[in-house]
Amino acid sequence: MKIPFHAGLSESPPGRSLLLVTCWLFGCLLSSCAPERSEELHEFTGLTMGTSWSVLVHAAQLPLTRPRLQSQFNTILNRVNTEMSTYLPESELSRINGSDGTDWLTVSTSLMHMLQAAQDISRLTQGAFDVTLGPLVNLWGFGPEQDFAVPGEEHIDAALRLVGYERLHLDPAASALKKANGGIQIDLSAIAKGNGVDEIADFLERLKLDNYLVEIGGEIRARGVNDKNIPWQIGIEQPVAGQHGVRKIIKLENMAMATSGDYRNYFEKDGVRYSHTIDPRTGRPVSHRLASVTVLHPSAMLADAWATGLLVLGPERGFNLARQNELDAYFIIQDDEGFKEKFTPGFKPYFVNDNNNQASQL
Ligand code: ADP
Ligand code: MG
């Protein structure tokens, strides 16, 4: 089954493993305290953006019936998808990508909200995060076609000539955009799941639900406490393809978390792994030793974008930039002996405790 949107490999949707880790952790926490699952924990699940989503709500009573809530979640996520999917030919973004003119185009306010956030993170990461990478995402096969291939130099150079966030102009007051070059193709996959999480979380808050965990493909936002009246606990997994080992457990209170890594979404050719995260400076998949970056931020959308940008920048530049911007970020770096980790000072209070984090020194 091919689900529209996002470059997720269909057999291993991005974030699936984190979802499993999350469920596993809930399982552990619940079983250690009480064998019965509390009736106050309400779970909703579904598929969107080429991956799975889940919402957990801890409440004595739901303000709407379960089917009503489920359908509201679906409506919100379908709307996000029909605005920003590059997999749906009729989406607002596909229509913008399909227009090869350079006139100002009016866009929906929610798409503008996301584009503005994307451009801010592009400036802050000196272009490491760049949503105009569409031609390169497609060239490497991570677009809707999913035909993975190592392109030739001249194709990469040609695609690079169409890329550059400074060539995309925004007029937020008029909710309009203008491409400096008609060939510019926007790809919001690195920020869209985070945005979807924020949309659902904001909806729950409008319903006055204070204890929830929202997750789409591994990007998470949590508020309040779980049904054991403790903050929600999330596993950061070992960055090993095909495995779901938990490396760290962190508690998320009124905070979002996003992870970008090189181990979930990639293809291999002649023994080389090609990640779906592309370095806009080279036009090629990132190839350094940074295996994953986890970012905490009140906004899931910004956590998502930052995680991708820092992953592109790599273990040193990415880490320095995280510190300069006072981000709470956790880096897992591959070396000859295994994995090392480093994290910014603000990340430390989120670790649950050392007993639960024995894998940290691997
Ligand atoms: P994940 O799905 O693993 O959470 P990300 O949030 O990092 O992934 O998004 C990766 C997707 O974003 C890619 O599949 C591609 O469509 C797009 N992309 C790749 N490189 C970049 C980049 N440097 N900046 C912005 N978007 C990117
Ligand atoms: Mg991202």
The two beta strands, 328-335 and 338-343, are: antiparallel
pLDDT, tens digit (0-9, with 9 covering 90-100), for 97-106: 999 999 999 9
Report which residue type is found at 188.
L
Domains of the chain with CATH codes = 14-76+193-361 (3.10.520.10), 82-179 (1.10.3980.10)
Q: How confident is the model at residue 128 (pLDDT cuts 50, 70, 90)?
A: very high
Distance (angstroms) between ligand 1 centre and the Cα of 260 equals 8
247, two tokens? 């490396």
H or E element that contains 197: helix 189-206
Angle in degrees, CA 66, 67, 72, rounded to 5: 100
Higher pLDDT, 92 or 10: 92
pLDDT, tens digit (0-9, with 9 covering 90-100), for 170-179: 999 999 999 9
Contact 5, 50 (CB under 8 A): yes
**Ligand closest in space to the Cα of 143:** 1
77, two tokens? 């996520």
Residue 361 burial class via C-beta count within 10 angstroms: exposed 0-12, middle 13-18, buried 19 and up: exposed
Distance (angstroms) between ligand 2 centre and the Cα of 60 equals 34
Contact 132, 169 (CB under 8 A): no
Higher pLDDT, 244 or 60: 60
Nearest to 121 by CA among 195, 48, 53, 184: 195
Is pLDDT at 263 greater than 80 in this prediction?
no
The percent of residues above 90 in pLDDT, for the chain, comes to: 76
Q: Quick one: which atom of ligand 1 is closest to the CA of 14?
A: 2
pLDDT the model gives residue 330: 98
Q: Quick one: which atom of ligand 1 is closest to the CA of 194?
A: 6
pLDDT the model gives residue 271: 87
Residue 4 burial class via C-beta count within 10 angstroms: exposed 0-12, middle 13-18, buried 19 and up: middle
Is pLDDT at 35 greater than 50 in this prediction?
no
Question: Which protein residue's CA is at the shortest distance from atom 6 of ligand 1?
Answer: 190
Q: How confident is the model at residue 3 (pLDDT cuts 50, 70, 90)?
A: very low
pLDDT the model gives residue 270: 87
Q: How confident is the model at residue 9 (pLDDT cuts 50, 70, 90)?
A: very low
Residue 283 burial class via C-beta count within 10 angstroms: exposed 0-12, middle 13-18, buried 19 and up: buried
pLDDT the model gives residue 19: 40
Higher pLDDT, 36 or 158: 158
What's the pTM? Answer: 0.89
Q: How confident is the model at residue 31 (pLDDT cuts 50, 70, 90)?
A: very low
244 by DSSP, 3-state: which? coil
- Give the residues across from 248 on adjacent strands: 236
Is pLDDT at 36 greater than 90 in this prediction?
no
Q: Quick one: which atom of ligand 1 is closest to the CA of 258?
A: 4
Pick from 90-99, 129-138, 199-208, 265-274: least confident: 265-274
Helices (H), 235-360: 300-324
Higher pLDDT, 2 or 35: 35
Distance (angstroms) between ligand 2 centre and the Cα of 185 equals 18
Q: Quick one: which atom of ligand 1 is closest to the CA of 51?
A: 2
The two beta strands, 284-285 and 278-279, are: antiparallel
pLDDT, tens digit (0-9, with 9 covering 90-100), for 283-339: 999 998 999 999 999 999 999 999 999 999 999 999 999 999 999 999 999 998 899
Tell me, using a 6 A CB cutoff, whether residue 306 lines ligand 1: no
Is pLDDT at 12 greater than 50 in this prediction?
no
Count of residues for the chain?
362
Higher pLDDT, 132 or 355: 132
Local structure of residue 343 (DSSP, 8 states): E
Counting ligand 1 atoms within 8 A of each CB, the residue from 9, 140, 278 with the most, and so the one to mutate, is 278
Distance (angstroms) between ligand 2 centre and the Cα of 72 equals 25
Pick from 7-11, 219-223, 330-334, 354-358: least confident: 7-11
pLDDT, tens digit (0-9, with 9 covering 90-100), for 71-84: 999 999 999 999 99
Nearest to 200 by CA among 71, 356, 359, 27: 71
Contact 57, 180 (CB under 8 A): no
pLDDT the model gives residue 354: 54
Question: Which protein residue's CA is at the shortest distance from atom 23 of ligand 1?
Answer: 129
| Residue 169: CA count within 13 A, CB half-sphere | 11
Is pLDDT at 33 greater than 90 in this prediction?
no
Tell me, using a 6 A CB cutoff, whether residue 138 lines ligand 1: no
Round the average pLDDT of the chain to a whole number and report it.
Answer: 87
* Cα–Cα distance for residue pair 152/29, rounded to 1 Å: 50
Is pLDDT at 30 greater than 60 in this prediction?
no
Q: How confident is the model at residue 39 (pLDDT cuts 50, 70, 90)?
A: low
* Cα–Cα distance for residue pair 320/308, rounded to 1 Å: 15
User: Quick one: average pLDDT of 258-280?
Assistant: 89
Angle in degrees, CA 219, 16, 7, rounded to 5: 80
| Residue 179: CA count within 13 A, CB half-sphere | 19
